[in-house]
Structure 1
Amino acid sequence: MIDELRPLYSLEKAYEVLTPVYRFDLNSSEEFGRWKSGFRAKLIELLGGFPEKVELKPEVVQRVHLKGYTREKVLYRTAPYVVASAYMLVPDDIKGRVPAVLALCGHGYGNKDIVGINEDGTDRDSPRPLPQGYHRDFALELVKRGMVVMAPEIMGFGERREVEDEEKGPYASSCRRASFYAMMLGKTLIGMRVWDAIRAVDYLEQRDEVDSSRIGCMGISGGGMVSLFTAALEDRIKAAVVSGYLCTFKGSILSVRHCEDNYIPGILKYGEMYDIACLVAPRPMLIESGTDDPIFPVDAADYAYDKVKKAYDLLGVPYNLVRDRFKGGHHISGRISYDWLHSALSK
């Protein structure tokens, strides 16, 4: 077959010769501030911009005490015409203010799957050696370590779906229609999700139990995407765990079938995924990558990690970038990340 007959051929060639405007190619740490400011502004623009802040008006609509912590369900407003929901996990016997973590789920049946709630709304049975599913109840692992955990329902998942998608069952998302609708309006679903996460930080700062100087985030897959972009754009995130996501757009999003929520029009003209990750520097970040992850291939993840490492090296904090390259697939590892995040937020 003649290569030029393939629709992707010219696009692949365009990628090969592309020099992104904000490619991280700095020679001194003094350049970092200007690069970061310019890239952040452009990235927010590409995400569709952020709306005005509205009053959160939080309301606790459910509270239940469980073994070692209290779980609350909270409703709050993030933007005009937008109400978000989240589970709050608050450890028992808190003394003073403690670190807090945004726990961000990926595709599935929503935030219930990371706080120990089954699809039907019942609490899981007694703890098992390894929870089923790729989320591994990671929000519970974080609250066990004495941190307040906020698990927002991601827009398009769980109870934040369209009625027709709810009727298809708990695992059907509203990503497709929401993503295309947003793009036609000059927005992106990922931008709307990141804004929700930023407003979640605003809410955490209002909680009496939370030390607002020690807020982190952790996410897997689509939640890893939100974790990475939020940390890249929000300095109040003091440490981040990105699981099952950091890769290259070329090696993953453009090479493997992915949900529509992953796409940002025009992003490659300005930076690759690893350039976005460089915006997190010099703050602590841990990357989890499964060697057998089928949708974020480890070879491309290795390449991306090496690129991000250059930013941390340049800024003189190589120890603030950590990698758990574990033998496994597309799931939370946790063998390093839970304790690492607690330690990073306790300094």
Structure 2
Amino acid sequence: MKQEPSKKKEDRIARRQFVKSSVFSASLPFLFRTDLLTEAFLPDTNVTNIPSMASDKSLIGGYGQWAASLQPKVPALSFRNSKWTNQASWQKEAISKTTELISSPPKTAAPKVTVERKYVYDGLEIEEITWQLPYGRPTRAVVLKPQGVTKPLPAILGLHDHAGKKYFGYRKIVKTSDDQHPLLKEHQVTDYGGKAWANEIAKKGYVVLVHDTFAFGSRRVFFEDVKGLDWGGVNTAGKSDADPEKAENIETYNSWSSEHEHVMSKSLFSAGTTWPGVFLSEDQTALDILSSRKDVDPKRIGCGGLSGGGLRTVYLAGMDPRIKCAVCVGFMTTWTDLILNKSFNHTWMTYTPLLPKYLDFPEILGLRVPLPTLVQNNNQDELYTLEEMKKADAVLGEVYKKANASDKYAAKFYDGPHKFDEAMQKDAFEWFDKWL
């Protein structure tokens, strides 16, 4: 085999290292297989000699400002658009178009719920339940409520995060025994101030349901079900004689499943649906189950969550009026931020193709106006730029003002990185108490 000149070989290595170091986030890994790049995709040209195509740099180089310019300043179905003078007419058309583009899979009747186990822990009555959707393995979930309460209570659908940890789902925001997995304990310390927030709000007088959603926990992609992909040591972790709860096996699975996201997303697009659409369908099924419980007041149901849970809040609360109060934590920005600055550290689960022509990202949540909505942001959140978080706040503020419902919307900014700590939980719980 012909050897490369050493200079060219060094350039190739440097470029590979640059790609690897610049596209991964500690929170939500960008899914790009640099080791699958062939020599044909790594040109010999020294990239430093290519002239700049624009004075402003972006994630996509000189194409950034052009791409951003394709997005209308006020999208066609934005309530901020002056052509919309009737809220009901706007809402009907905007929700119809968003439903079309999200393209959720067909929704079936509420599935049969099986109660696997009941017990009491830390003053809470806990039910471990399952249900079977038409696709995938059974969904596992927990219901938590104060011990001894018999009257119908307000309820919260707790939406777990992403965090690059697909092995776990609902377990990330609950605690059902003193024997907690070390990785879950660590996650709750770093992201939730050491609290299982679903437990904490249940203690305040709520029925709380938290379920595994598509591709997480019990709904995750099991390696043994995958054909045609063999990425590293995850096949060892998937063997029947391996301990799936062993930390190194969990971390291996999480790495593999993050790299599998672009495969899943392409397959969902090819099937005529979207990841937000699948989320919405599964979260609405969980909402069906929660609202049908005899211990729940169906007119007083809220939802909320951090990060991936905040993303799910945007779509669920925006599209389903049964959510009477919403708290979106750590997932609010603009499409412009994702075009120019931050798409590299966000999951494929964020995107609904073509929707930016009709709504800016915060306006998906704004579809619920005038229902109460709180958005919590962190000033040093590495997943967004502060300027765009503030623009998103201004957009939602304008939507609620036009609907004469400014008192139903609030945004709060906290110092610190991506998190939902005790101070933020206190404000979120007070918001739920106020409106539910």
- TM-score (normalised: structure 2): 0.72
Who is 1:34 aligned against?
89
- Secondary structure at the counterpart of residue 336 of structure 1: helix
CA contact (8 A) 1:54 1:79 kept: no
CA contact (8 A) 1:219 1:242 kept: yes
Equivalent of 1:56, from 108, 111, 114? 111
CA contact (8 A) 2:157 2:208 kept: yes
Q: Which amino acid aligns with 1:148?
A: V
Partners in 1 of 2:369 and 2:288 — Cα distance? 22
- Secondary structure at the counterpart of residue 86 of structure 2: helix
Who is 2:179 aligned against?
122
Note closer, same or farther for the CA distance 1:196–1:227 as it changes in structure 2 (3 Å cut): same
CA contact (8 A) 1:291 1:325 kept: yes
Give CA deviations for 1:226-264 in whole Å, capped at 9, x if unaligned: 111101110110000000001112214652211111121
Who is 1:337 aligned against?
428
Who is 1:259 aligned against?
347
CA contact (8 A) 1:18 1:269 kept: no
Equivalent of 2:263, from 163, 171, 177? 177
Who is 1:316 aligned against?
404
Who is 2:67 aligned against?
11
CA contact (8 A) 1:87 1:150 kept: yes
CA contact (8 A) 1:23 1:272 kept: yes
- Secondary structure at the counterpart of residue 241 of structure 1: strand
| 1:143-154 correspondence to structure 2 within 5 Å | 143-154=202-213
Partners in 2 of 1:81 and 1:259 — Cα distance? 21
Partners in 1 of 2:215 and 2:209 — Cα distance? 18
Note closer, same or farther for the CA distance 1:220–1:156 as it changes in structure 2 (3 Å cut): same
| 1:292-331 correspondence to structure 2 within 5 Å | 292-331=380-419
Note closer, same or farther for the CA distance 1:8–1:300 as it changes in structure 2 (3 Å cut): closer
RMSD of Structure 2 on Structure 1 (CA) = 2.6
Who is 1:203 aligned against?
289
Question: Higher helix proportion, which one?
Answer: 2
Partners in 2 of 1:74 and 1:9 — Cα distance? 49
CA contact (8 A) 2:170 2:210 kept: yes
Who is 1:291 aligned against?
379
Q: Which amino acid aligns with 2:197?
A: F
Deviation at 1:27, TM superposition (A): 5.3
Confirm whether residue 157 of structure 1 aligns to residue 248 of structure 2: no
> Higher mean Cα deviation, 219-228 or 166-175?
166-175
Partners in 2 of 1:82 and 1:191 — Cα distance? 18
- Secondary structure at the counterpart of residue 169 of structure 1: helix
- Secondary structure at the counterpart of residue 213 of structure 1: strand
> Higher mean Cα deviation, 198-207 or 23-32?
23-32
Partners in 2 of 1:40 and 1:71 — Cα distance? 36
CA contact (8 A) 1:225 1:245 kept: yes
Note closer, same or farther for the CA distance 1:175–1:71 as it changes in structure 2 (3 Å cut): farther
Over alpha carbons, which structure has the higher Rg? 2
Q: Which amino acid aligns with 2:433?
A: H
Give CA deviations for 1:172-231 in whole Å, capped at 9, x if unaligned: 446433222101111111110111111111101221110011111011111101111101
Deviation at 1:26, TM superposition (A): 4.8
- Secondary structure at the counterpart of residue 227 of structure 1: helix
Deviation at 1:18, TM superposition (A): 5.8
Partners in 2 of 1:138 and 1:253 — Cα distance? 32
> Higher mean Cα deviation, 249-258 or 37-46?
249-258
Who is 1:45 aligned against?
100
Deviation at 1:271, TM superposition (A): 1.1
Partners in 2 of 1:175 and 1:122 — Cα distance? 31
CA contact (8 A) 2:68 2:339 kept: no
CA contact (8 A) 2:124 2:147 kept: yes
Partners in 2 of 1:79 and 1:319 — Cα distance? 41
Deviation at 1:28, TM superposition (A): 9.4
Partners in 1 of 2:397 and 2:269 — Cα distance? 32
- Secondary structure at the counterpart of residue 62 of structure 1: strand
Partners in 2 of 1:225 and 1:320 — Cα distance? 20
CA contact (8 A) 2:104 2:281 kept: no
Partners in 2 of 1:180 and 1:213 — Cα distance? 38
Note closer, same or farther for the CA distance 1:311–1:344 as it changes in structure 2 (3 Å cut): same
Q: Which amino acid aligns with 2:356?
A: L
Give CA deviations for 1:137-156 in whole Å, capped at 9, x if unaligned: 21112111110111111211
Partners in 2 of 1:337 and 1:207 — Cα distance? 24
CA contact (8 A) 1:3 1:9 kept: no
Question: Higher strand proportion, which one?
Answer: 1
CA contact (8 A) 2:84 2:90 kept: no
Give CA deviations for 1:77-104 in whole Å, capped at 9, x if unaligned: 4455674221111211214100010110
- Secondary structure at the counterpart of residue 154 of structure 1: coil
